[in-house]
């Protein structure tokens, strides 16, 4: 994602430590081609998870390429000059990475200050984390889960750049020490050590990971772990953590110790690449298959969101191994796959701009769709990608390349030498242009942290609900005596409504019409079994029940049968359909709900999905939770459905 080397060639014969003649890492177009495939996978995944559910694995491909190239550069410099200049290395990285990053950060601050000021307080931590390259640890610490669908998170993607930059700081120090003690002929042994560490990390990841649903600490304490006394989600630590994601970087480094282009050209391995091309094709097919099949999280019926077990139990290192084979193939001097397929001009053009494409695309997507989980359709994707490409190309041509090559500094010095000054009209223009960024940064620094509209609305309605404590075990629920979390009603309830966060947002308005509401965030459909069994056991069910469940996961017809069994004697049961745009659960759950009246005569359907579909103005940014206008219509439709 962030490595790019100038065209160079091998100089001299067999190198030895301490000589000034030796290898310079050559530019391999096919590596840019691999970057292109990786960034395309990530962008498609970020646009719509249903298009390529495992496209996030492109980040792992970037990690392996980075590990390979950085280690190769350090080894080449050691062979060429007898030492490694850490200062020069870090300066090259800074010139390559920082200009585009700072442009993104400043642009995001200005956008929010001008068009979305309520987000400025929440944005502050992400900006600081991005600026210091610790975004991954900030997200782990703050609980900003990478899979959270409702958040406006324009800088969430910077976690991977943080992992790489932390590697760029630490790894040269490690290699500086190791290369002082290792002879060129023993480098492959060092590669075996790196491989062993990568395997150890993969094993540790599998041991730390826990199978099962991921919910609040109260419901799924096994899915949490402690870091310096802070409770964090295991899956976030494993996916975002620098150490747990180091396997790919280490395997790339291991390849660099054994597969050096200058050595290939003069050895037997460089004479033929037919067998290697076949292996490379198989590796790319494997990567494509994993991008198609793998997931970060999966929706298990009546359980909810769980981690994708295979990803954390060998999947990530499998991706890294396939990438190693692909890199070994395309960097071979006689590889047809590398020259004629992966190294084609279009892929190389994309690959050279992959850093900017990765940086800008996610923020542009977020500025448009507001909530991270909102899926783009094809027309939206094409339009936003056109904007992304234009911004990326402008950044590449006028910011990144001039600074990376030193042309910007040379132009500035030449201008100063000709007597250029900031006074006069130029100073006025530059000062005027600086007003908006300065205003934006100051606004962000003093902004109050405000929850998003959805969270604020749900929190405001918490006091209007009546709940019993439910205990989830596996995919079912217990039936032990329960204790109320609020004062339970006495006698039969006139209208009893049970729902998830969609209903919770309207709880106060429903309560104002005499409806007793039991609604909470992240509720699964199966949880209602316990609720209705309890109220039947204490004889508090009245003549009317309203059910709106299914937002948080897929359910089954058998589950609704279990829910409706204790409601057999209730005269009217109104069940609402789901509106969850872009998710498979919407169609599946609605099919189950619409079939209920055929089996349960006391059930009628309120088709919230169909009635609300023509009214996007009823909803918050996620398209799921009603805003104030939507809540009024939501309540009115429920009242109409129950004959009020």
3-state SS of 592-637 is HHHCHHHHCCCEEEECHHHHHCCCHHHECCCCCCECHHHHHHHHHH
State whether 441 and 464 are in the same domain: no
Of 448 and 184, more confident: 448
> 302 CB contacts (<8 Å, ≥6 apart)?
475, 524, 525, 526, 553, 554, 555, 556, 559
Q: Find out whether 177 and 267 touch, Cβ atoms under 8 Å.
A: no
Percentage, residues of the chain above pLDDT 70: 91
pLDDT recorded at residue 606:
97
Domain residues for the domain of 608 are 453-641
Res 9 pLDDT > 60: no
Res 480 pLDDT > 50: no
- For residues 548 and 510, give the distance between their C-alpha atoms in angstroms, rounded to a whole number: 13
Name the maximum alpha-carbon separation found in the chain. Answer: 93
Span of 355-369, 416-430, 499-513, 609-623 with lowest mean pLDDT: 416-430
- For residues 170 and 449, give the distance between their C-alpha atoms in angstroms, rounded to a whole number: 34
pLDDT recorded at residue 267:
56
State whether 337 and 418 are in the same domain: yes
Tokens at residue 516, please? Answer: 């007793």
Altogether, the residues listed in the chain come to a count of 644
pLDDT digits (tens, 9 = 90+) for 255-264: 999 988 777 7
pLDDT recorded at residue 160:
97
| End position of a domain, from candidates 446, 463, 479 | 446
Reported confidence tier of residue 426, pLDDT bands at 50, 70, 90: low
State whether 438 and 458 are in the same domain: no
State whether 391 and 476 are in the same domain: no
Q: Tell whether 21 is covered by a domain.
A: no
Q: What is the dihedral of CA 422, 425, 430, 431, to 10 degrees?
A: 90
The enclosing H or E element of 188 equals helix 187-208
User: Facing residues of 499 across strands?
Assistant: 519, 548
Residue range 191-217: average pLDDT?
A: 95
> 288 CB contacts (<8 Å, ≥6 apart)?
none
State whether 382 and 515 are in the same domain: no
DSSP state letter for 472: E
Q: Find out whether 24 and 76 touch, Cβ atoms under 8 Å.
A: yes
Res 477 pLDDT > 50: no
Res 487 pLDDT > 50: no
Reported confidence tier of residue 473, pLDDT bands at 50, 70, 90: very low
pLDDT recorded at residue 13:
35
DSSP state letter for 213: B
State whether 439 and 460 are in the same domain: no
pLDDT recorded at residue 146:
67
Domain count, the chain: 2
| End position of a domain, from candidates 421, 446, 471 | 446
Reported confidence tier of residue 82, pLDDT bands at 50, 70, 90: confident
pLDDT digits (tens, 9 = 90+) for 578-620: 999 888 889 999 999 999 999 999 999 999 999 999 999 999 9
pLDDT recorded at residue 80:
85
**Nearest of 65, 38, 64, 66 to residue 52 by alpha carbon:** 38
Residue range 290-298: average pLDDT?
A: 94
Q: Tell whether 270 is covered by a domain.
A: yes
Of 392 and 17, more confident: 392
Residue range 50-56: average pLDDT?
A: 95
pLDDT digits (tens, 9 = 90+) for 617-639: 999 988 999 999 999 999 999 99
pLDDT recorded at residue 19:
43
Q: What is the pTM of this model?
A: 0.89
Phi then psi dihedrals of residue 91, to 5 deg: -65, -40
Residue range 431-454: average pLDDT?
A: 86
State whether 403 and 490 are in the same domain: no
Pairing mode, if any, of strands 495-499 and 515-519?
Answer: parallel
Reported confidence tier of residue 150, pLDDT bands at 50, 70, 90: low
Q: Tell whether 247 is covered by a domain.
A: yes
Q: Tell whether 209 is covered by a domain.
A: yes
- For residues 466 and 492, give the distance between their C-alpha atoms in angstroms, rounded to a whole number: 14
State whether 340 and 397 are in the same domain: yes
State whether 422 and 457 are in the same domain: no
Of 284 and 266, more confident: 284
The enclosing H or E element of 473 equals strand 472-473
Q: Tell whether 459 is covered by a domain.
A: yes
pLDDT recorded at residue 147:
67
Q: Tell whether 11 is covered by a domain.
A: no
DSSP state letter for 375: P
Q: Tell whether 105 is covered by a domain.
A: yes
CA distances from 605 to 320, 548, 590, 598 (A): 49, 10, 10, 11
- For residues 506 and 107, give the distance between their C-alpha atoms in angstroms, rounded to a whole number: 36
State whether 359 and 442 are in the same domain: yes
Res 359 pLDDT > 90: yes
Q: Find out whether 163 and 138 touch, Cβ atoms under 8 Å.
A: no
Q: Tell whether 16 is covered by a domain.
A: no
Res 378 pLDDT > 90: yes
- For residues 558 and 529, give the distance between their C-alpha atoms in angstroms, rounded to a whole number: 11
Q: Is 496 helix (H, G, I), strand (E, B) or coil?
A: strand
User: Facing residues of 626 across strands?
Assistant: 619
pLDDT recorded at residue 22:
65
pLDDT digits (tens, 9 = 90+) for 84-106: 899 999 999 999 999 999 999 99
Res 222 pLDDT > 70: yes
Reported confidence tier of residue 415, pLDDT bands at 50, 70, 90: confident
pLDDT recorded at residue 483:
46
- For CA atoms 412, 417, 421, 425, the dihedral sign is negative
- For residues 4 and 354, give the distance between their C-alpha atoms in angstroms, rounded to a whole number: 10
Spell out the alpha helix ranges (H) of 48-119: 58-81, 86-115
| End position of a domain, from candidates 446, 473, 493 | 446
**Nearest of 210, 240, 204 to residue 223 by alpha carbon:** 210
Q: Find out whether 307 and 47 touch, Cβ atoms under 8 Å.
A: no
Res 482 pLDDT > 80: no
- For residues 252 and 63, give the distance between their C-alpha atoms in angstroms, rounded to a whole number: 8
User: Facing residues of 484 across strands?
Assistant: 468
Kindly report the average pLDDT of the chain as a whole number: 89
Q: Find out whether 77 and 24 touch, Cβ atoms under 8 Å.
A: no
State whether 586 and 624 are in the same domain: yes
Instruction: Give the domain CATH number at 560.
Output: 3.40.50.1110
State whether 155 and 243 are in the same domain: yes
Tokens at residue 237, please? Answer: 């630590």
Residue range 422-443: average pLDDT?
A: 81
């Amino acid at each position: 994602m962030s490595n790019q080397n100038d065209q160079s060639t091998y100089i001299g014969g067999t190198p030895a430590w301490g000589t000034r003649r030796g290898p310079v890492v050559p530019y391999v177009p096919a590596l840019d081609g691999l970057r292109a495939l990786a960034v395309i996978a990530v962008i498609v995944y970020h646009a719509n998870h249903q298009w390529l559910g495992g496209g996030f694995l492109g980040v792992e491909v970037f990690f392996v390429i980075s590990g390979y190239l950085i280690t190769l550069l350090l080894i080449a410099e050691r062979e060429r000059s007898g030492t490694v200049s850490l200062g020069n290395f870090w300066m090259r990285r800074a010139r390559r990475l920082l200009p585009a990053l700072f442009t993104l950060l400043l642009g995001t601050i200005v956008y929010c200050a001008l068009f979305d000021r309520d987000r400025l307080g929440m944005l502050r931590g992400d900006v600081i984390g991005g600026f210091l390259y610790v975004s991954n640890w900030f997200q782990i610490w703050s609980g900003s889960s990478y899979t959270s669908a409702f958040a406006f998170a324009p800088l969430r993607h910077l976690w991977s750049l943080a992992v790489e930059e932390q590697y760029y700081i630490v790894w040269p120090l490690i290699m500086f020490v190791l290369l002082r003690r290792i002879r060129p002929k023993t480098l492959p042994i060092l590669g075996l050590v790196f491989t062993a560490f990568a395997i150890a990390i993969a094993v540790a990841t599998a041991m730390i990971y826990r199978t099962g649903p991921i919910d609040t600490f109260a419901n799924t304490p096994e899915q949490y772990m402690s870091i310096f006394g802070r409770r964090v989600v295991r899956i976030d630590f494993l996916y975002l953590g620098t150490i747990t994601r180091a396997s790919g970087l280490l395997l790339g480094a291991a390849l660099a110790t054994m597969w050096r282009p200058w050595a290939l050209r003069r050895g037997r391995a460089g004479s033929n690449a037919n067998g290697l091309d076949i292996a490379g094709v198989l590796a790319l097919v494997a990567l494509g298959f994993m991008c198609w099949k793998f997931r970060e999280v999966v929706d298990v019926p009546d359980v909810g969101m769980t981690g994708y077990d295979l990803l954390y139990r060998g999947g990530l290192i499998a991706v890294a191994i396939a990438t190693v084979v692909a890199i070994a193939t395309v960097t071979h001097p006689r590889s047809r796959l590398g020259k004629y397929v992966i190294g084609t001009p279009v892929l190389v053009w994309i690959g050279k701009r992959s850093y900017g494409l990765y940086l800008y695309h996610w923020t542009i997507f977020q500025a448009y769709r507001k909530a991270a989980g909102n899926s783009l359709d094809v027309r939206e994707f094409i339009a936003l990608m056109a904007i992304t490409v234009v911004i990326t190309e402008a950044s590449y041509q006028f910011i990144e390349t001039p600074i990376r090559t030193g042309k910007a500094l040379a132009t500035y010095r030449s201008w100063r030498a000709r007597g250029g000054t900031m006074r006069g009209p130029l100073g006025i223009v530059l000062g005027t242009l600086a007003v908006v960024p300065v205003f934006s940064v100051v606004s962000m620094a003093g902004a109050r942290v405000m929850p998003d509209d959805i969270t604020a609305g749900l929190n405001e309605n918490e006091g209007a609900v009546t709940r019993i404590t439910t205990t989830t075990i596996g995919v079912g629920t217990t039936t032990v005596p329960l204790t109320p979390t609020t004062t339970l009603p006495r006698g039969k309830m006139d209208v009893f409504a049970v729902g998830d966060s969609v209903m919770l947002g309207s709880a106060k308005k429903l309560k104002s019409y005499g409806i007793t509401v039991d609604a909470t965030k992240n509720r699964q459909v199966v949880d209602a079994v316990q609720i209705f069994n309890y109220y039947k056991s204490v004889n508090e069910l009245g003549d009317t029940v309203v059910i709106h469940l299914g937002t948080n996961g897929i359910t089954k017809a058998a589950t609704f049968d279990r829910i409706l069994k204790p409601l057999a004697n209730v005269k009217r049961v109104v069940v609402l359909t789901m509106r969850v745009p872009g998710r498979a659960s919407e169609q599946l759950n609605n099919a189950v709900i619409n079939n209920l009246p055929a089996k349960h005569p006391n059930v009628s359907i309120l088709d919230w999905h169909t009635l609300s579909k023509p009214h996007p103005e009823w909803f918050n940014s996620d398209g799921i939770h009603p805003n104030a206008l939507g809540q009024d219509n939501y309540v009115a439709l429920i009242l109409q459905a129950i004959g009020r």
